Amino acid sequence: MHCDDSIPAIPLWIDGHAWFGVFSEFIDIREADGSVNFRVPKCGPGEAATAVASARRAQPAWADDAALRQRLLDQLAGMLDQFGGDLARLVARETGKPFAAAQIEVARAAAALRDGAGACGITPGEAAVQTVVGDAGDPLVSVVGGIARAIAAGGAVVVLSPASAPSASFALAELSARAGFPAGALCLLHGDLQVRVAMKSALGS
């Protein structure tokens, strides 16, 4: 834990934009070389409820337009291709993976988005707000795989980034806005097990 205000925090993503709040706790992002150059705010029940509410507002119209979901997933995949080197550097910096391995992860993420696009309107599932929890070992593809499956089924998504490697998740959220995702279709939180509990509670309310 580091509360030095000189260390910038990676914000949340709610309602289609970077979302800032007042936080008392932060989690350091210790990069592969041991340095701490960024941190993330440790979210709580309030942030979880705000993200879930945003996703719930977006979800009905989003679920009803399979063609839009397909087109936007394809566009997001194209952006991963376009910015693949930048995303790979983020993954490598925070995980310690060789750059070539990080590039492979980005390519797998783009393929998962295209698979999701192909399944839009076909994949059965509950069209609802769904949660996706990232894995620090594969911080991009673990998030993207869950997002693609949820959106293919008509769901809006609330993502919990892997707190030790969140940068690629935030970059993905920014790219989703560039691709034209409607506000709330993809939201991003940061934190730990307590945030997962808060997300589950917010979905049950």
Kindly state the DSSP code that residue 15 receives in the 8-state scheme: T
- What's this model's pTM, rounded to 2 decimal places? 0.92
- DSSP-derived secondary structure letter, 141: H
Domain residue limits at 148: 12-204
The pLDDT value given to residue 125 = 58
Q: Is residue 55 part of a domain?
A: yes
Q: What is the pLDDT of residue 127?
A: 66
**In whole angstroms, what is the distance from residue 116 CA to residue 114 CA?**
5
Residue 48 lies in a domain: yes
Residue 1, domain member (yes or no): no
pLDDT band at 5 (very low <50, low <70, confident <90, very high): low
Give the model confidence (pLDDT) of 77-115 as tens digits. 999 999 999 999 999 999 999 999 999 999 999 999 999
Total domains, the chain: 1
Domain assignment of residue 5, yes or no: no
Identity at 19, one-letter amino acid code: W
Output the CA torsion sign for 126, 116, 65, 147: positive
Sequence-ordered list of residues with C-beta below 8 angstroms from that of 35, at least 6 positions apart, any chain: none
**Would residue 3 count as lying in a domain?**
no
Q: Which of 3-16 are b and which e, b meaning 16 or more Cβ less than 10 Å from the residue's Cβ?
A: eeeeeebbbbbbbb
Contact, 113 vs 106, CB < 8 A?
no
Any idea what the CATH number is for the domain that residue 160 is in? Answer: 3.40.605.10
* Residue 7 domain-assigned (yes or no): no
Higher pLDDT, 36 or 57: 57
| Rounded Cα–Cα distance for residues 27 and 9 (Å) | 9
- What is the per-residue pLDDT for 146? 96
